[in-house]
Amino acid sequence: MKIRLHANSQGIVLLVTLLTSLIMGLVVASYLMVIANQNYSTMRSLAWNSATSLAEAGIEEALTHLNDDTSLTVNNWSTLQINGQTVYRKRRDLGDVGSFYSVTISNAITSPVIFSQASTPGPLGSGNATRAVRVTTAPNGLFRPAVFTKGGINVGSDLLLDSFDSSDPQYSTNGKFDPAKVKANGNLASISTEADAVNIQNSKVFGHVYTPPTGSYILGNNGVVGDRVFQSDPANAGKVQPTYYSSDLNTTIPDATPPAGYQFFPFPLGGVVDGIVYDYILGSGGYQLPTGTTLNGSVLVLGDATLYVPPESRIQFSSGDVITVSAGLSATLKVYNASTADAVIGDVSNGSGMASRFAYYGLPTTAGTKATLTSSGAFAFAGTFYAPSQDIIMSGPDSGNLDFIGAITANSFTLDGHRSVHFDEALAKSGGLPRLVIDSYSEIAPSANL
């Protein structure tokens, strides 16, 4: 007996087969679409990241141009005017796929700012991926701003801050500060993110002020920040010259480190020179203060000397105590302070007038302590203080001004009294030549002007 399939049964089987195939086709198509989207997203992300790399390549080329080229217009860099300022620009095309970067240097002579915009084709003709970055630069010397802190800066209304350059006869006389040859790079900078971290009040700052985006400054009705021409106009009282405040500071302050081999340095001894009795006489070489003793009295420096102060010792100069750095012998003194006690540093007789001849380093063990800089006014203080862990207090008279020539880096800085601080820009140079490094980095919106 033969069993025959009815036609309607055959139709149902065919319909089920077709529906199954359709569903499988939809699943495969959906899967392929997901893969295609993922591939597109990956390729788009690759183009996006490639644009960033290209923009950073533009930054590197601009830094090399600033540091190594003899002129700002060599190697195919061109000039143009933007808002009355001369800027330098270069475009570099890479390969034949349409990738390129355009890099612009503004404020090139004083504190260069670099803008770099890059573009690279996206996948499947989706348009170019474009990224732009902005970096500020600074010399890579140990001292960049005149006063540089982790925390607050409080100069009240009693500071006059400017700059000069001991390595440039146009801005110094025989390497010394000359009030007729001042510059306006006496900069204040704090990496504190607190509001009003920089308190200027009615002081006169011939230079710039720098803070992070959340940081800020306080300026009194008679305070002024800017160059000499700006400050000469009485109408600018209580104002900051345009472009002389930046709120994009993004950097760190490294700790000071002790000198190599300090554990084996001998103790310094006193003696008599030219009929004068000195508590300590330092020639060329390294010395270590004996544990538990206090550095004070009369100190004579006759060579290239380094003095290490251990944690259990202290620095306490009182009235009449003087550190004399012999100018005639081109003597220098570097003090590395590891003391866990507050320091008081009095008169420094640095007859050379060169800030590089006297240097104080506050090591990390000084954290939580203060270093107070006092002065009788008998000597114009010339030196540098690099103490990222210490709070530095500079005292001055109630009226008139005492001169401080050099630079200060500290945890915080407070001025108590009247002082004139003259920043030596040569301190921000490495090997006698300025080498610029990136001081802050931020991504910005692409622009047709870049």
Is the predicted pLDDT of residue 432 greater than 50, yes or no?
no
Q: Which residues contact 322 (CB under 8 A, 6 or more apart)?
A: 298, 299, 346, 347, 348, 349, 379
User: For position 125, what pLDDT does the model report?
Assistant: 64
Q: Is the pLDDT of residue 172 over 90?
A: yes
Tokens 């870049």, residue? 450
| pLDDT tens digits, 380-417 | 789 999 999 999 999 877 766 788 999 999 999 999 88
Tell me the average pLDDT of the chain.
88
CB 322 within 8 A of CB 347: yes
- 115-124, 216-225, 373-382 — most confident range: 216-225
What does the domain layout of the chain look like in residue ranges? 50-140+436-450, 147-434
The pLDDT value given to residue 7: 55
Q: What is the mean pLDDT of residues 48-67?
A: 89
Spatial separation of the C-alpha atoms in residues 297 and 72, rounded to whole Å: 52
Q: What is the pTM of this model?
A: 0.71
CB within 8 Å of 178: residues ≥ 6 apart: 164, 172
How far are the Cα atoms of 134, 169, 258, 414 from residue 358, in angstroms, in the given order? 37, 22, 16, 21
Token digits of residue 334: 């570097």
Q: What is the DSSP string of 179-204?
A: GGG-BS---EEE---STT-EEEET-E
| Beta-ladder partners of 280 | 299
Report whether pLDDT(4) > 60.
no
Quote the pLDDT of residue 85. Answer: 78
Q: What angle do CA 193, 197, 202 make, to 5 degrees?
A: 155
The rounded percent of the chain whose pLDDT value lies above 70 is 90
Q: What is the mean pLDDT of residues 145-162?
A: 93
Give the pLDDT mean for 237-245: 94
Flag whether pLDDT at 430 surpasses 60.
no
| Residue among 427, 393, 385, 395 nearest 412 (CA) | 393
pLDDT at 363: 97
> What per-residue confidence (pLDDT) applies to 41?
64
